[in-house]
Amino acid sequence: MIEIVSADKDRDIFERSWGRCLKSGLNKSITPNINPVQLEDNLLADAFKNIVGKLDGTIALTDSMLIITDKNGIVLETKSFDKSAEVNYLMKSGMALDELNAGTNAISMVLNTGKISIVRKKEHYIECFKDLSCIAAPIFDKDSNILGVIDITTCNDINDVHKVLLLFLKKTIESDYYELSAKEILNGLDVIDIEILNLLAYGYTDSQISKRIHVSISNVKYHKNKLRKIFKAKSIRDCIYKATKIGVI
């Protein structure tokens, strides 16, 4: 059975969140800020757009909006199934929906607990969300790190249709993100990168690799730095681990 955080059974979690908001001096009358910095994690947004494009016109969620955020709660993309202003005017790309900036909401709950969360209308901390209900789920990578959050926001009550759709979106986005990430990595690798990565995996030193494939040691180091950038890894060991998981080596 999937665990869902909600106020009716997890009152203490909500009270702690409300308490933090109060202690931080968060103004209940605010509208969350739009983040001016360039949004990151385009692959997560792409995975979201891929599945939402397929859903468009096939589901009867005319009361709802879908939202995808990054791991910091910054909105990457939205999709509205309700053309009415009470939903549309609130959720915009770049909006910060973490607890510090937007108080208690389903996205901030997910970021705090790592679990699927429901926040109903009057359970939100800031006033502009109190006519909305939301349910959100964490998007994980293959190592169970949170990549972002998928959220369904509605001006009605959360029901079983919202829950089923959320779980479907979560699983599909995680799968698509993995495929897009692997494809991006493969597209960035040259034959020599893969060859050097394989030799590193077998324990060869830079000097040994240099002699084996007839390139300079500085050239080996260049490709090692390139590998770390492509795999977004801090070490070659991490590169090898990630490459193994997607079948590069």
With contact defined as beta carbons under 8 Å apart, do 131 and 153 qualify?
Answer: no
Q: Please give the structure tokens belonging to residue 85.
A: 């202003």
User: Which stretches of the chain drop beneath a pLDDT of 70?
Assistant: 1, 36-41, 56-62, 81-89
Which structure tokens are listed for 219? 């050239």
- What's the rounded Cα separation, in Å, for the pair 74 and 31? 14
In this prediction the pTM is 0.86
**Which pair of structure tokens corresponds to residue 65?**
């909006």
- Which residue in 133, 169, 164 sits closest to 8, CA to CA? 133
Dist. CA 117–CA 119, nearest whole Å: 7
Tokens 């059974």 -> residue: 9
Closest CA to 66 of 51, 58, 216: 51
Question: What local confidence, expressed as pLDDT, does residue 41 receive?
Answer: 57
What integer pLDDT is reported at residue 171 of this predicted model? 96
How many angstroms separate the CA atoms of 51 and 59, rounded?
12
Check the CA dihedral 119-144-76-180 and report its sign.
Answer: negative
